[in-house]
Amino acid sequence: MDEIEIITKKRNSLFVFPEKFQYKDLAPVFPELFDYFMRICDQYPVDSGEEYMLMLIRQNMRDLEMNRKPMGHNREARYRMIFPKDRKDVQFFIYPRIAEEESEIDEITEKISNFLDEKGLKHEIFWDQMEFLKEEKKK
């Protein structure tokens, strides 16, 4: 019997940092991380891009420097980076707000992971862990 290869499309990625890692530990690399994320997702704002990006980064940095979960603040983007409220460890999701067929979540996740590796930030990646997205798909 021939083998059948089943390819499943990943819907979201979860970056999990070690237990002792704190939000303030992300602060030194966050401006560059967020800028890189917006660029590789091809969603860097064209009109007043620099000012808008500085505002987004500044809002997140305030929280990170106070060792709090940042808000994220890229709600209208095709890809979002969000820090879940219900987790005690430092984690963030990347998920697309576009059709699964068009999503490049695998490539984007790999690039962000490589960036974190280059910065010496240990992390693990888990796929399709966003419960509310799973519930939306069932409806």
Q: What is the pLDDT of residues 49-81, one digit of tens each?
A: 788 888 889 999 999 999 999 986 666 678 999
pTM for this model (two decimals): 0.84
Mean pLDDT over residues 3-10, rounded?
Answer: 64
Query: pLDDT confidence of 100, banded at 50, 70, 90?
Result: confident
* pLDDT for the residue numbered 8: 65
- 3-class DSSP string for the chain: CCCCCCCCCCCCEEEECCCCCCHHHHCCCHHHHHHHHHHHCCCCCCCCHHHHHHHHHHHHHHHHHCCCCCCCCCCCCCEEEECCCCCCCCEEEEEECCCHHHCCHHHHHHHHHHHHHHCCCCCEEEECCCHHHHHHHHC
Q: What is the pLDDT of residues 10-42, one digit of tens each?
A: 889 999 999 999 999 999 999 999 999 988 988
Does residue 135 surpass a pLDDT of 60? no
* pLDDT for the residue numbered 71: 81
